Amino acid sequence: MNAALLSLILFVACAAAAPADPQVIPIVSQTQEGPNPDGSYKWAYESGNGIKANEEGQVKNAGSENEAMQAQGAFSYKGDDGVDIAMTYIADENGFQPQGAHLPTPPPIPEAIQRALEWNAAHPEQDGEKA
């Protein structure tokens, strides 16, 4: 009797843990251009669950020693809490630079420190001058 009960419990647990059919989310629109001979490209898509993303890129200063790839784009989606999340970004020789209202920001500089920084900038020390 115990073996039959244990088998039944294991069967129910395994059946409950079995993965459900994955939800297929359609792609509503999708475009792609490139990569082109000059290194530029462009893509965009929108999915059925409201995710939107796009990016375009190009080579800056092509052929020079300062040649660098630059990309800029954006994406948006609805978070688990129902809040819309949107971000734009630039990626270039200065790194990845995201912008979005949901991203954390540093606290403001305390007023006394800000005044000291402004005073220091307005009164640089001269070479050879001793305090």
pLDDT for 126 equals 56
Q: Tell me the domain boundaries of the chain.
A: 27-120
- Please report the pLDDT score of residue 110 as a whole number: 94
Give the span between the Cα atoms of 73 and 41, in whole angstroms: 12
pLDDT value at residue 128 = 46
Task: Give the Cα-Cα-Cα angle 7, 9, 11 (nearest 5 degrees).
Answer: 65
Query: Comparing C-alpha atoms, which of 100, 59, 41 is closest to residue 76?
Result: 100
Question: How do the pLDDT tens digits run along the chain, 131 residues long?
Answer: 566 666 767 777 766 666 677 889 999 999 999 999 999 999 999 999 999 999 999 999 888 888 899 999 999 999 889 899 999 999 998 899 999 998 888 899 999 999 999 998 888 875 545 55
**pTM to 2 decimal places:** 0.63
